[in-house]
Amino acid sequence: MRPLDPVTSKQRVAYGLAFFVLFVALWSWATLGGHVSKTFLANPLTMVQEGFDLLTKQGFVYDIGMTIWRVVGGFALAAIIAVPLGVLMGAYKPIEAFLEPFVSFARYLPASAFIPLLILWAGIGELQKLLVIFIGSVFQVILMVAVTVGATRRDLVEAAYTLGAGDRGIIRRVLLPSSAPEIAEILRLVLGWAWTYVIVAELIGSSSGIGHMITDSQALLNTGQIIFGIIVIGLIGLLSDFLFKAFNAWLFPWRLA
């Protein structure tokens, strides 16, 4: 091993898998070896069994579907509002001066702290869940998009002006395409955060979803189900991340060329 020395892609996969194997081995040693009480931590085999039970007998697929729909719904809502606003802020400095202080402030308001208020306003239905995700994502996306658009290379903008582009042309044909890959990256990142908010929203006042299943299992001291739920969240996150990356690579071939 030397600093910054690259690894082959085969080695990369092998090392990555090795950690998972090590992790499960440690977990098995702690639980199956009797070092940790069953009440606090289920062993891997029980976890798999409980998971199978959840999927086949307890309709956990429906819960997974509900959670995904909430994340995607709330996130899409946030993106639809945040991306145009962020672009406008990045492009027009007066708009940025007008909105930036408030958005910076709002960004630090924890989405989970809004849950009691949102339950008062929107009940415990779907709207409340969507709003938690929305509040958690929208300000982050606005600010990051604004910074990205504002950092567009000045010389590209100047070149476009000398080629006869007007203000609209600059936004549509320079600021947007040059920021698009970064904006896609921002959305990928914030989607990951949205997953944390949705589980918190489902822990409180919900009758479906992965978070709801986890609270139910806690009441039954079923740690196998809890861990299975957490692992499912991780797997979905991994999958959505992979899809997002592949989609971005397909969308912006000029970056990889």
Partner 1 sequence: MTILKIEQVSRTFPARHGNAPTRALEPTDLIIGNNDFVTILGPSGCGKSTLLRIVAGLDRPTSGRVTLDGRAVTGPGADRGMVFQSYTLFPWLTVRENIAFGLRERGVSEAERNEIADGFIRQVGLSGFENHWPKQLSGGMQQRTAIARALANDPKILLLDEPFGALDNQTRALMQEMLLSIWERDQKTVLFVTHDIEEAIFLGSRVIVMSARPGRIKAEINVDLPHPRSYKIKTTPEFVQLKERLVEEIRTEALKVAEHA
Q: Which is nearer to partner 1, 169 or 237 (CB)?
A: 169
From 91, 138, 171, 174, residue interacting with partner 1 (rule: CB under 8 A): 174
From 4, 21, 120, 163, residue interacting with partner 1 (rule: CB under 8 A): 163
Residues in the chain: 257
Output the smallest distance, CB 219 to partner 1, in A. Answer: 53
Burial 216-227 (b: 16+ CB within 10 A, else e): bbeeeebbbbbb
Output the smallest distance, CB 4 to partner 1, in A. Answer: 23
| 161 near partner 1, judged by CB under 8 A | yes
Q: Which residue in the block uniquely carries the two structure tokens 């986890």? A: 214
From 84, 123, 177, 192, residue interacting with partner 1 (rule: CB under 8 A): 177
User: Residue 47 corresponds to which tokens in the numbers above?
Assistant: 């976890």
| 158 near partner 1, judged by CB under 8 A | yes
Neighbouring residues of 205: CB distance < 8 A, sequence distance ≥ 6: 115, 119, 124, 128
Q: What is the DSSP string of 99-152?
A: HHHHHHHHHTS-GGGGHHHHHHHHTTSHHHHHHHHHHHHHHHHHHHHHHHHHTS
Q: Quote the strand ranges of the chain, DSSP E.
A: none
From 178, 196, 215, 240, residue interacting with partner 1 (rule: CB under 8 A): 178
Instruction: Give CA–CA dist 28/35, Å, rounded.
Output: 10
Task: Please report, in angstroms and rounded to a whole number, the separation of the first and last CA atoms in the chain.
Answer: 30
From 55, 81, 88, 160, residue interacting with partner 1 (rule: CB under 8 A): 160
From 106, 156, 230, 236, residue interacting with partner 1 (rule: CB under 8 A): 156
Q: Which is nearer to partner 1, 12 or 93 (CB)?
A: 93
| 254 near partner 1, judged by CB under 8 A | yes
- The residues of the shown chain that bind partner 1, judged by CB under 8 A, are 153, 155-156, 158-166, 169, 173-174, 177-178, 180, 252-255, 257
